[in-house]
Amino acid sequence: AQSVTQLGSHVSVSEGALVLLRCNYSSSVPPYLFWYVQYPNQGLQLLLKYTSAATLVKGINGFEAEFKKSETSFHLTKPSAHMSDAAEYFCAANTGNQFYFGTGTSLTVIP
Amino acid sequence: DTEVTQTPKHLVMGMTNKKSLKCEQHMGHRAMYWYKQKAKKPPELMFVYSYEKLSINESVPSRFSPECPNSSLLNLHLHALQPEDSALYLCASSPRLAGPADTQYFGPGTRLTVL
């Protein structure tokens, strides 16, 4: 069965520090992977998506993710955290019929 | 324009009320979705419409009734809800249903409270 696993339901980083949010997918999931961000009381906003064109994907707000087939991973990174990055982050896989969401990671940025 | 709009933003209703949620997109997308989201949880798929026809119903109770009047509009009719139905209801759209590389674009959601 398709699945997406996000390691760490809560991540805290200091402002200016590296942000690393982890996402692993099951081997049966096709390589169409997405990261969404959700700010409080808002909908989901697309940060970036991988569709096999390039393994390093750049998204909005300085975020990027690298697809590593050997590790079945699609981790999200940002070199320097900003206070405005505090939000819930969801990794998702699209099988064509349905989106499979990870359980989400809540990012806290400490001033 | 990649905007999906939802109204109302907030809704409070009693268990005997009938209300409707509305979702609209003008991106020419032919797949539209309803999700339910509880706090700090991922969205849970409820219904999927493809070309205005119901394609997926994830065993949702009949007190939720979806409707797709045209390719731009999606409604969710609510009747005799329970307090546990209180949640954020998200609408989304994508160019087509079976497009693995297609992005789902989400609306801002309707925060529903059932008293």
pLDDT tens digit sequence for A4-61 = 999 999 999 999 999 999 999 986 766 689 999 999 889 999 999 998 778 899 999 9
In this prediction, residue A83 has a pLDDT band, given cuts at 50, 70 and 90, of: very high
In B, minimum Cα distance to A5 occurs at B42
Report whether pLDDT(A94) > 90: no
Among B residues 70-89, those touching chain A with beta carbons less than 8 Å apart:
88
In A, minimum Cα distance to B47 occurs at A98
Average pLDDT, chain B: 94
Helix (H), strand (E) at residue B113: strand B110-114
Tokens of B45: 């798929």
Spatial separation of the C-alpha atoms in residues B11 and B112, rounded to whole Å: 5
Average pLDDT score over residue span A77-84: 97
Q: Is A99 at the interface with chain B, CB within 8 A?
A: yes
Distances (CA, A) of B62 to A102, B47, B59, B65: 27, 12, 9, 6
Query: What is the length of chain A?
Result: 111
Q: Which amino acid is at B69?
A: P
Average pLDDT, chain A: 92
Contacts of A102 in chain B (CB under 8 A): 42
Q: Which residues of B61-73 are buried (b: 16+ CB within 10 A; e: fewer)?
A: eeebebebeebbe
Smallest CA–CA distance, residue B83 to chain A, in Å, is 19
pLDDT of residue A98: 76
- Dihedral Cα B23, B90, B32, A55, nearest 10 deg: 130
Q: B56 and A51: CB-CB below 8 Å?
A: no
Average pLDDT score over residue span A75-81: 97
Report whether pLDDT(B89) > 70: yes
Query: What is the length of chain B?
Result: 115
Contacts of B43 in chain A (CB under 8 A): 44, 90, 101
Contact B71, B87 (CB under 8 A): no
φ, ψ of residue B95 to 5 degrees: the values are: -55, -40
pLDDT of residue B1: 64
pLDDT of residue A96: 72
Tokens of A55: 């393994």
Cα B72-A30-A6 angle, rounded to 5 deg:
90
Spatial separation of the C-alpha atoms in residues A81 and A83, rounded to whole Å: 7
